[in-house]
Amino acid sequence: MIVRKLDEVVGTDHDVAAEGWNSRRLLLAKDGMGFSLHDTLIHPGVDLNLCYENHLEAVYCIEGDGEIRVLPDGPTYPIVPGTVYALDQHDHHVLRATTTMRMVCVFNPPVTGNEVHDENGAYPAAAVLQES
Ligand code: 9YT
């Protein structure tokens, strides 16, 4: 069993920041769960143009509010606490917070630790973990 606290991740290599967001990665590929689990803050006033071509992502908002716009033509959905969205089609989207949003994010396949978005708004395909 793995038991981990957010406090143990904050300020470590698994607390990853980029423009507009801060991802505290609680469970990673190396934990062997088949998904990664992040407690992510989305800061207000930044348009995050994202398209996870190598991953599926589910995002559950637990604090704050904002919106997600599906590209190229919409629709736009409000995001408030209690809203989940699942990018089951590797959907290209823009995420924007009005107030700091706290999101529980699940990635399949799991991220390995320090991924940030490339120029297309994606994370690289997961490296194959070698059994030792
Ligand atoms: C909701 C979202 O995609 N935010 C960007 C950061 C990412 N989800 C992460 O790695 O936690």
**Ligand 1 within 6 A of CB of 59:** yes
Q: How far is the CA of 72 from the centre of ligand 1 (A)?
A: 20
In a domain, 66, yes or no: yes
Query: Using CA atoms, how far apart are residues 70 and 72, in angstroms rounded to an integer?
Result: 6
Q: Are strands 101-108 and 15-18 parallel, antiparallel or unpaired?
A: unpaired
CA 4 and chain centroid, separation: 18
Q: Determine the structural domain holding residue 114 and report its residue range.
A: 6-131
Q: Span 99-114, mean pLDDT?
A: 94
**Ligand 1 within 6 A of CB of 40:** yes
Q: How far is the CA of 3 from the centre of ligand 1 (A)?
A: 22
Tell me which H or E stretch contains 95: strand 93-97
**Ligand 1 within 6 A of CB of 9:** no
- Our count of domains for the chain comes to 1
pLDDT in tens, 21-31: 999 999 999 99
Question: So what's the pLDDT on residue 129?
Answer: 52
In a domain, 105, yes or no: yes
Q: How far is the CA of 40 from the centre of ligand 1 (A)?
A: 6
Q: Is the pLDDT of residue 47 over 50?
A: yes
Question: So what's the pLDDT on residue 131?
Answer: 45
**Ligand 1 within 6 A of CB of 105:** yes
In a domain, 57, yes or no: yes
In a domain, 120, yes or no: yes
Q: How far is the CA of 130 from the centre of ligand 1 (A)?
A: 26
In a domain, 107, yes or no: yes
pLDDT-derived band at 125 (thresholds 50, 70, 90) equals confident
- Which of 97, 83, 87, 9 is closest to 47 using CA atoms? 97
- Which of 4, 3, 43, 16 is closest to 112 using CA atoms? 16
Query: Using CA atoms, how far apart are residues 107 and 75, in angstroms rounded to an integer?
Result: 23
In a domain, 1, yes or no: no
In a domain, 104, yes or no: yes
- Pocket perturbation via mutation, ligand 1, pick of 36, 50, 94 by most ligand atoms within 8 A of CB: 50
In a domain, 54, yes or no: yes
Tell me which H or E stretch contains 63: strand 56-63
Q: Span 28-43, mean pLDDT?
A: 97
Mean pLDDT (the chain) is 93
120: domain CATH number is: 2.60.120.10
